[in-house]
Amino acid sequence: MRVVIFCHSLASDWNHGNAHFLRGVATELIARGHEVRVFEPRGGWSAANLVADAGPSALEDWRAAYPALSSDMYDLDALDLDAALDGANLVLVHEWNDRDLVRAIGERRRTGRFSLLFHDTHHRSVSDPDAMAAYPLEEYDGVLAFGDVIRERYVAQGWARRAWTWHEAADSRVFRPLITTRDGDLVWIGNWGDDERTEELRHYLLAPVRALGLRARVHGVRFPAAARRELEDAGIEYAGWLPNYRVPEVFAAYRATVHVPRRPYVEALPGIPTIRVFEALACGIPLVSCWWDDREGLFAPGADYLVARTPDEMQRHLRDVLSDPALAAALAGHGRRTILARHTCAHRVDELMAICRDLGVDTTTTERMLTR
């Protein structure tokens, strides 16, 4: 099967979580013998910020971790879309693409022989519905939504013909337990962002670290100066951007991590964790999570990770995990087993293949690889 993917970026994971999942899915497709070609806009906001933050080499360093992957950079006004889609069996278009590109690909679908799916991994269908309603999806075969609530939204609003739930997952080739020297107690990997969880970070991360006197580090981007001062005041080291493929080695150096979901996911998108939950559990690090409604039954709260509904519970859970090696080992082992049983990129490719067959796509592999 020949798969063509249009995404915001494969090369940059700067504040761009979809790159995490896309790299794993593309790697799995290629490993199964499918042809994959990925297109991303030249100078997109994630890549531009990554270069400004870490230098031009950061756009190349990821290739060592993903040697089978590459992407074609394009300028929208010069893109030869007919050549890009030539011979495609399946085309995936992520929701961060330019609407004109989304429309143009849909127009090619009228005469093309490929199946066409829109991939939504964001909360805008709920937080900014007018923006999502403006996407021209009439010619698309359907939507891959990263949670039931998003899938139901597309169906109820009549934005797409069909929609399937396609959760994110961990790339188990990259995200796995490693052995290294311990550097500290707690690490959190995430972005400060747009005040969607500022208070939550203060109460569920900074306060417990300060109260327990933990050796802690934070990796992430979009931390304003005031936020970095708050981290310093709490005794937390701020270490900036971390390439996502290096997350396993950082997790291995710490004894626990936390999950602090953004407010829109807790309030408006029940059942959807961020990809960092999958990745943390895949790495076998004990996780304490702020409460979120796992209404789709993805995990076993209390066994895969501990749940903190209040700041006091977060402090108590962290103290227990850090002082009880048996508890920490039980959480780490159970969480990783859950990922390996249900939530790897291989599982998601299995699901994608089933959707393709439902659409009448020939999912057999071909000999020639199209990656460049």
Question: For residue 288, what pLDDT is reported?
Answer: 98
66 pLDDT above the threshold of 60: yes
* pLDDT average, residue stretch 53-80: 95
Q: pLDDT tens digit string along 252-273?
A: 999 999 999 988 888 888 999 9
Q: Give the whole-angstrom CA distance, residue 97 versus residue 84.
A: 15
pLDDT band, residue 72 (cuts 50/70/90):
very high
Cα 279–126–158 angle (5° rounding)?
110
123 pLDDT above the threshold of 50: yes
206 sits in the region (left: phi over 0; alpha: psi -120 to 50; else beta) called alpha
Q: CB neighbours of 92 closer than 8 A, spacing ≥ 6?
A: 3, 4, 5, 6, 7, 117, 119, 144
371 pLDDT above the threshold of 80: no
State the residue for tokens 């889609």.
85
Q: Give the whole-angstrom CA distance, residue 162 versus residue 143.
A: 6
Question: For residue 126, what pLDDT is reported?
Answer: 84
Q: Roughly what angle, to the nearest 10 degrees, separates helices 345-358 and 18-31?
A: 70
How much is the pTM?
0.95
The alpha-helical segments, DSSP class H, found in 253-323 are: 263-267, 275-282, 311-323
21 pLDDT above the threshold of 70: yes
Total Cβ atoms within 10 A of residue 286: 30
168 pLDDT above the threshold of 80: yes
* pLDDT average, residue stretch 38-42: 97
* pLDDT average, residue stretch 307-332: 98
Q: pLDDT tens digit string along 175-209?
A: 999 999 998 999 999 998 777 889 999 999 999 99
Q: Give the whole-angstrom CA distance, residue 29 versus residue 245.
A: 18
13 pLDDT above the threshold of 80: yes
301 pLDDT above the threshold of 90: yes
Would you list the DSSP string of 112-153? -SSEEEEEE-SSHHHHSHHHHHTS--TT-SEEEESSHHHHHH
Query: Which one is predicted more confidently, 251 or 196?
Result: 251
pLDDT band, residue 22 (cuts 50/70/90):
very high
Residues above pLDDT 70, as percent of the chain: 98
H or E segment to which residue 206 belongs: none
Burial class (CB in 10 A: 0-12, 13-18, 19+), 46: buried
Query: Which one is predicted more confidently, 66 or 195?
Result: 66
Q: Give the whole-angstrom CA distance, residue 163 versus residue 269.
A: 16
- Rounded to the nearest integer, the mean pLDDT of the chain is 95
For the chain, report the end-to-end CA distance as a whole number of angstroms: 16
* 300-309: long-range pairs with CB below 8 Å, 24+: 300/334, 300/338, 303/330, 303/331, 303/334, 303/335, 304/331, 304/334, 304/335, 304/338, 305/259, 305/277, 305/281, 305/331, 305/335, 306/331, 308/204
Q: What are the φ/ψ torsions at residue 198 (nearest 5 degrees)?
A: -60, -50
